Structure 1
Amino acid sequence: MTDATLENAPYAYVRKETLQQEPAPLSVAGPWAWIRTNLFSSPLNTILTLLCLYLVVDAVPGLIRFYFLDAVWTGEHRDACLADKVGRPVGACWAYIADRFQYFIYGSYPVSERWRVNIVFAMFALGVIWLLWNQAPLKKIGVFFFFVILPASAFILLLGGARAEGFLRFLILLSFALAVLYLVLSFVPSLARFWIGEGQLTVEQEMPAWQRFYRPKRLILIAVVVFGLLAVLADRVGLPRVDTGLWGGMMVTFLISAVGIVFSLPLGVLLALGRRSRLPAIQLLSVIFIEFVRGVPLITVLFMANTMLPLFVPQEYSPDRLLRPLIGVALFAAAYMAEVVRGGLQAIPKGQYEGAMSLGLGYWQMMRLIILPQALRIVIPGIVNTFIGLFKDTTLVTIVGIFDFLRTIEATLVDPTWATPTTRTTGYAFAAIFYFLCCWGMSRYSVAVEKRLAAGQKR
């Protein structure tokens, strides 16, 4: 029936207007339906829900009272956190955390030189935001900043001394040499043809000179600017050497984690490709390395790196005491990362390899453009899980004398200035909060990346 027929219909039971859509019944939608479906869907789920609810009701009020209501937030020494001194029940001693907070961040790094650590922290935060923010501009420059500028600058700033200043001068000279070389090759086409070879210039190299120079000059410019500022700081303020034995706290934890994460992924990819290689020697070496490292605990690897690594080089070239666990952690994480990546490679259908080869792509082009992007997208949860485990395993470096964040907390627990019954509980609670926030942040970001990359896979 048409709308006009309905309007002129003489029958009273014919409805002339459309009813408003009513909400779904509470039994199938809304919070009550979710509770019934997820918490009380079966007798077993009901028992578990009630048990968890009892544990929450029994434990949470005591935790809130200990860590917040009865907590001590200000004070200069242990008397502020002793019940007989303040005349009331005392909970967590957060005044101890506030008093030792600088030590938890920098360890024994000299107070007058901690501005250098702050600069490295700021550069690290800028690099992480630049890389992880999907809408950030100039991504290639961000990659160059994070993987080239930041490590060199951190080495110069944190270590200091004659070696770091010599390295800085080398980087400045190298940057200027690259700038001059690129200017010559860009604005003198005849030299470019002589350097590259007649008839081998690509389409990009046949662009006008100013267009060819535009993109690489950004990388050279940022290198010159950053290293130039560091040179000015070294000249005006001075960068005295700070021995790695004085490093500690969050600084060392972030350093070990960053080095392990940055190096373990590319090394893991190479090891995974080596294990799947058709060349027997490469495959055998990759399998031996992966299985040997995965067959021993990280503590053993750290002991070997700390005691055996110096035996393979002359005494004057012996690796630094902090460099040894850095190498051990990176190699250990790379072995586990290799198996994660290999799982993603095995999940790629054979047709993807055949399609890439039909396009005339070589092995490395096929892996870089076709196979590895798909494989890494599949194993994002495994990669992030390895990164989180690596971040937490940094606490094991204490066995070789490195003062990471957790070790600095343990070192302050024996300080008589803050020796109270609640100091140990408060210190470990603060460490738990720190590790939870860092690991939770990595987990949430990985979930966001998964959702963004899987947008085209939804059905």
Structure 2
Amino acid sequence: MAVHQPLPDLPPPPSERGLWGWFRQNLFSTWYNSIASLVVGYLLIIWLGPVINWALISAVWTGEGTDDCRPGAACWIFIQQRLGFFLYGFYPAELRWRPNIVFVLFLITVVPQFFPRAPGRKWLALFGITGLPVLGFVLINGGFFGLDPVATSRWGGLMLTLILAYVGIIAALPIGVVLALGRRSEMPVIRGICVTFIEFWRAVPLITILFMASVMLPLFLPQGVSFDKLLRALIGITLFQSAYMAEVVRGGLQAIPKGQYEAAQALGFGYWRSMRLIILPQALKIVIPGIANTVISLFKDTTLVLIIGLFDLLGAVRSTLSDPAWRSVAAEGYLFVALCFWIFCFGMSRYSHNLEKKLDTGHKT
């Protein structure tokens, strides 16, 4: 008896593949979707046309000052001439090779995390959590191994923004995990302390915490005892964000079925071993979107340090715009800040999305 071989699958029709197929499936699938797509496209063309012409086509990219700018066109000379201040603040120009080395190490640590097959990815992540903050402080601050010390009051720009965000993220996550575990503890004293801590820091605005850390805290310290302003800001940001991180992690812990706890007990695991091997890995995987949202919020909240006299990226741009010579290019300065923040926030969002897909085990609700 002859065996019938199945015919190969036919390719989809031309109208269902390629660029036109994507447009038909996503933008013109129904008559009302088609109308909405045409209206939105028309509005985008009307709005984006002048913006693109102002920002790119007619823009002035090089020159000596505002005299070379043209009306109705973006003047990117402002960014070109003040780029060093926007990146490093008042950090000495002859010593900027030190933060540059730290930034290169930061890229070497972070970029491989986007590629699952990158060699040594886990070791680089471990170095980024433990060794990079210490090495970065030694290089940027100086005072060790013959390096000239640079006061934190001279740190600024994008460098300061990244320092505040990076240190805050690394410190807030483990503190938040401990607080979440403490809030679910069966010991009333531990649970009460964690609940009080979390609710207190969540009930106070970050701008108030920074103000208290900068202005009020020194008044309560013994005479002759003082803390660096940047250190006080880091402590305030870390404690504030750790409270929010704790609630995110607690949501993941509550989402774990009771059977997982019982299974850990059946295996003879103690509390910490069951949390480390069974409960926390599942809980953290569930709350990856919430953790990413908290991290992105922390990165954007670093701009509030301007109120205590620390010139981060936004503060550096605003201080430059106070110069009457550059007051007319405020839009260009704020667009530069928005672009920098968008690049980092979008990168963190994509990484969390890829991590969520990688760790997905099919248990979606």
Question: Structure 2-normalised TM-score?
Answer: 0.91
How far 1:113 moved relative to its partner? 1.6
Deviation of the 1:19 alpha carbon: 6.2
Which position in structure 2 is the counterpart of 1:106?
A: 88
**Structure 1 stretch 377-386 or stretch 117-126: which is displaced more?**
117-126
* 1:53 alignment partner, one of 10, 27, 41: 41
The corresponding residue for 1:14 is none
Tell me: CA distance 1:133–1:31, structure 2 relative to 1, closer, same or farther (3 Å). closer
Deviation string for 1:107-165 (max 9, x for gaps)? 0111122122112212222232465553344556435532332222222222223xxx3
Distance change (3 Å), C-alpha of 1:315 and 1:244: farther
1:34 and 1:322, CA in 2 relative to 1: closer, same or farther beyond 3 A? same
Give the superposed CA RMSD.
2.5
Deviations 1:416-446 (A, max 9, x none): 4434x3x111111111111111111111111
Identity, in percent, stands at 52
Name the residue aligned to 1:453: 359
Tell me which of 335, 339, 342 is aligned to 1:436: 342
Corresponding residue for residue 103 of structure 2: 121
Aligned counterparts, 1:146-185, within 5 A = 146-161=128-143, 165=144
Structure-2 change in CA distance of 1:61 and 1:276 (3 Å): same
Counterpart among 335, 360, 379 of residue 287 in structure 2:
379
- Say whether residues 1:63 and 2:51 are aligned partners: yes
What is the CA–CA distance in structure 1 between the aligned matches of 2:32 and 2:194, rounded to whole Å? 48
Query: Shift of the alpha carbon at 1:99?
Result: 1.0
SS of 2:166's partner is helix
Q: Which piece of structure 1 moves more, 248-257 or 448-457? A: 448-457
Structure 2 match to 1:329: 237
What is the identity, as a one-letter code, of the residue corresponding to 2:116? N
8 Å CA contact 2:112, 2:118 repeated in 1? yes
Q: Cα distance, 1:329 vs. partner? A: 0.8
Correspondence 1:31-430 to 2 at 5 A: 35=23, 38-40=26-28, 45-46=33-34, 48-83=36-71, 90-129=72-111, 133-138=115-120, 141-161=123-143, 165=144, 231=145, 234=146, 239-419=147-327, 421=328, 423-430=329-336
Aligned partners of 1:57 and 1:416: how far apart in 2? Answer: 35
- SS of residue matched to 1:269: helix
TM-score relative to the length of structure 1: 0.73
Q: Which consecutive unaligned segments of at least 5 residues does structure 2 have?
A: none
**Of 251-260 and 54-63, the range deviating more from structure 2:** 54-63
2:60·2:70 contact (CA, 8 Å) conserved in 1?
A: no
| Deviation larger for 298-307 or 327-336 | 298-307
**Residues 157, 312 of structure 2: 8 Å contact kept:** yes
C-alpha displacement at 1:39, in angstroms? 3.5
- How many residues are paired up? 364
Tell me the amino acid that sits aligned with residue 341 of structure 2: Y
How far 1:308 sits from its partner (Å)?
A: 3.1
User: What's the CA shift string for 1:251-295, capped at 9, x where partnerless?
Assistant: 100000001100110011011001101111111111111112112
Deviation of 1:92 (Å): 1.0
Change in 2 beyond 3 A, CA 1:429/1:364:
same
Secondary structure (helix, strand or coil) at the match of 1:354 reads helix
Contact 2:16–2:24 (Cα < 8 Å) also in 1: no
d(CA) in 1 for partners of 2:87, 2:37: 41
Contact 2:133 2:167 in 1 (8 A): no
1:16-47 deviations in Å (ceiling 9; x for gaps):
x9766444456766665654554455676455
Gaps of 5+ in 1: 7-16, 84-89, 166-230
Cα distance in 2 for residues equivalent to 1:20 and 1:377 = 41
Residues 335-356 of structure 1 deviation map (CA, whole Å, 9 limit, x = unaligned) = 1111110111011111111111
Q: Distance in 1 between matches of 2:48 and 2:125?
A: 44
Q: Residue 58 and residue 363 in structure 1: after superposition, are their counterparts in 2 closer, same or farther (change >3 A)?
A: same
Task: Call closer, same or farther: CA 1:113–1:355 in 2, change over 3 Å.
Answer: same
CA distance in 2 between partners of 1:129 and 1:305 (Å) = 34
* Mapped partners of 2:136, 2:179: distance in 1: 28
Compared CA separation, residues 27 and 152, structure 1 to 2 (3 A): closer
Query: Which string of whole-angstrom CA distances, capped at 9 and with x for unpartnered residues, describes residues 306-355 of structure 1?
Result: 22333443343311111111111111111111111011101111111111
Query: Counterpart amino acid of 1:380?
Result: I
- Determine helix, strand or coil for the equivalent of 1:322: helix
Q: Which amino acid aligns with 1:391?
A: F
Letter in 2 for 1:435: F
Distance 1:109 1:343 in 2: 42
> For 1:384 and 1:154, how far apart are their aligned partners in 2?
24
Residue aligned with 1:402, SS? coil
